[in-house]
Amino acid sequence: MSKERAALGVDVGGTFTDSAAWDGARLRSGKASSTLDQSEGVLEGAATVLGDRSVERLLHGTTIATNALLERKGARTALVTTAAFADVIEIGRQDRPALYDPMADRPSPLAPRHLRFGITGRIDGAGTEIEPLEDLHRLVDEVRQSRPDAVAVCLLYAFVAPAHERAVAAALRDGLGRVPISISSEVAPEFREFERTSTTLLNAYLEPGTGRYLRKLRERVTEAGLAKEVLVMRSSGGLMDVMAAARLPAAVLLSGPAGGVVASAELGRALGYGRLVSFDMGGTSTDVCRIEGGRPQVSYQRTIEGYPCRMPAVAVHTVGAGGGSLAWVDPGGALRVGPQSAGAFPGPACYGRGGSEPTVTDADLAVGRLSSETRLAGSLRLDPDATQRALAGLAERLNLDAWATALGVIDVVEAHMERAVRAVSIEEGADPRQAVLVAFGGAGGMHATALARRLEMGGAVIPPYAGVFSAVGLLLSPPRSDMVQGVLMTEGNRIDDVVAGVVIRAREHMLAETGRSAVEVRSMVDVRYRGQSHETPVTYQPGDRWEVLADRFHQAHHERNGFARPGDPIEVVAARAEAIGEPAMRWSDLPEIVPSGEPRRGTRTVLTGRGPQEASVWWRPALVAGAEVVGPAIIEEPEATAYLQPGERTTVHPSGALEVTW
């Protein structure tokens, strides 16, 4: 293994910052509390695993863009559209966020009405100028007077004819100086005016804040001599240059969860599982994603906090249910858990940092799944007395004892997570009984088997490095470039030329951005029945015949929607390409486990729905390949804990993965 592949993956979560370093022969990992300034947490996390050593590449998963959108802390953003289209972001699709709730409102537009501007000028779908741009100087003056921090430009048909959009952007740059400008023909060159405008506006809204953070991170990493190169995880499950991410924050909105999904897919291939559901339970939230054939499901449009985003992203479903999720009683007297979280500070009551409200972690400690001797993130000792005080107040409101309350908190949070898995399986036509649950994150192993058994899944796998698995996923993620071109083509058109052009652009973009050549390029097209309002991505390589494409589409449409109409004409509305590079590490590079220490650590009383039971306690780093552990049992490791219920059995795979059956 060459030194050029030495890398550090750092994944910043709401509660902990996880780090994993690969030097070509050995993987080191660590966990630290997240910081308000994420760049500080990145450097602190690096120090836990590297000391004063350096690496070639820092690979970063971040929630900075996501948090800015969730908290509405983006930039003051102006929107420029073709005249009479300034209100498209408010009109939307005229659907309702909650069909049977007349009081439910859409989120407020990211550009308020007084920051929306129209300009005369039009190019048709064939690229012919119908009406030249007019009043460009007036537009620049009006936008300048509104004093925006960022500007989004989205003109009609710019996805096929971007000349007017580029002219407007050039004039705005001359008139506004260093104010960042996002144009739709670069951010999301696809049809559908509302979604294209929304995505471009999202990018502009997030660019100043995300850009500041990523540039600051790059400077601090360089000053510390930590790494020569910084790459950021894309939402689609690949890496992009840090400065490119600063200019295109819409591409990293789901950067945080993507690393764990990539790692789950790699582990599934290594263990021979064709269908998986990744289950990442951290301190603040739980992320789940379906994986089939060794590849995560990728969505080409997500709605994030009510805002459509036409950027490829792993199809993660997130719920506000993590170890730090607060338990509370609603006005009707029902026990609720989340989505509010105690975060890293003050954190759960058992952290001893001043938190007084009970959380899922407190419940796990109270029932014995966690030990008072456990040191989270290597140094944080848990306080059972603080947990008991927090649970006592909740128990009083529920008129229950503390133990019944703790079990209730666990049952409620597991019900939330069950619904999340159903959303990515049953609700999408996939049978979870044919899949295996891959559980990771600091809290994933404590709830994995209960969740899998609720859904009658085929088993559960708790991977090695489970507590920092998303950081490991960054090391397994390749550099990636995603390209798309909106088209409207029917049989007889030169679809090969369009797809080949997008493939070439994807290769060139990766080389220009990262200095690396693609080792694989996957191409596909979005297909629909003529006049249909939604499309289905279908694999397509230049040279494939239209008949082959049609057969693939009919099959994919049947799998996704339960029916197909083979006699109806089809049309292609977009061509896509994914250029994939070489990751820092492959799963096969990891050495087999080398056990050390004494595996058996005694017993501990665990409270279950059937009453107290004695559970055996095991130290995971000491378990040899092939070893079996029978529940009830608790398996501890430096960054995570797993819990086996009575009747469950796990076998240690040579990779260190725990394969659980029942």
Residue 370 lies in a domain: no
CA distances from 38 to 18, 65, 238, 350 (A): 12, 12, 21, 24
Give kind and range of the element (H or E) at residue 181: strand 181-183
Residue 548 lies in a domain: yes
Average pLDDT for the chain? 92
Q: Nearest-CA neighbor of 640 among 472, 415, 478?
A: 472
Residue-wise pLDDT tens digits, 540-568: 988 898 999 999 999 999 988 889 999 99
Please compute the mean of the pLDDT values over residues 252-259 and round it to a whole number: 91
Question: What's the helix, strand, coil split of the chain in %, to 5?
Answer: 35, 30, 35
Query: Which DSSP string do the residues of 592-651 spell out, in sequence order?
Result: PP---S-SEEEEEEEEETTEEEEEEEEEGGGPPTT-EEESSEEEE-SS-EEEE-TT-EEE
65 and 78 part of one domain:
no
Instruction: Record the tokens describing residue 128, joined without a space.
Output: 């012919």
Name the percent of the chain lying above pLDDT 70. 99
Residue-wise pLDDT tens digits, 392-451: 999 999 999 999 999 999 999 999 999 999 999 998 888 999 999 999 998 899 999 999
104 and 11 part of one domain:
no
pLDDT at 585 over 60: yes
Of 84-98, 214-228, 477-491, the range with the lowest mean pLDDT is 84-98
Of 158-172, 351-365, 374-388, the range with the lowest mean pLDDT is 374-388
pLDDT at 360 over 60: yes
195 and 216 part of one domain:
no
Residue 345 lies in a domain: no
CATH number at residue 45: 3.30.420.40
Residue-wise pLDDT tens digits, 110-150: 999 999 999 998 887 777 888 888 889 999 999 999 999 99
How far apart, in whole angstroms, are the C-alpha atoms of residue 164 and residue 155?
A: 8
Length of the chain in residues, anyone? 662
18 and 101 part of one domain:
no
188 and 142 part of one domain:
yes
pLDDT at 377: 60
Please compute the mean of the pLDDT values over residues 304-322 and round it to a whole number: 91
CATH number at residue 105: 3.40.50
Residue-wise pLDDT tens digits, 463-504: 999 999 999 999 999 999 999 999 989 987 789 999 999 999
pLDDT at 3 over 60: no
Contact 37, 9 (CB under 8 A): no
557 and 656 part of one domain:
no
Domain C-terminal end among 166, 201, 236: 201
Residue 86 lies in a domain: yes
pLDDT at 207 over 90: yes
28 and 61 part of one domain:
yes
Residue 320 lies in a domain: no
190 and 216 part of one domain:
no
3-state SS assignment for residue 501: helix
Question: Checking phi first, is residue 338 left (phi over 0); if not, alpha (psi -120 to 50) or beta?
Answer: left
Instruction: Record the tokens describing residue 528, joined without a space.
Output: 């629909």
Instruction: Record the tokens describing residue 571, joined without a space.
Output: 């049309």
pLDDT at 2: 45
pLDDT at 1: 36
571 and 605 part of one domain:
no
Residue 134 lies in a domain: yes
197 and 84 part of one domain:
yes
CATH number at residue 554: 3.30.1490
How far apart, in whole angstroms, are the C-alpha atoms of residue 386 and residue 102?
A: 43
Residue 44 lies in a domain: yes
Q: How many domains does the chain have?
A: 4
Residue 232 lies in a domain: yes
Residue-wise pLDDT tens digits, 590-624: 988 888 889 999 999 999 988 999 999 999 999 99
63 and 86 part of one domain:
no
148 and 98 part of one domain:
yes
pLDDT at 211: 96
Please compute the mean of the pLDDT values over residues 644-661 and round it to a whole number: 94
pLDDT at 407: 97
Q: Which amino acid is at 103?
A: M
pLDDT at 101: 82
Domain C-terminal end among 201, 221, 238: 201
Domain range for 623: 600-631+641-661
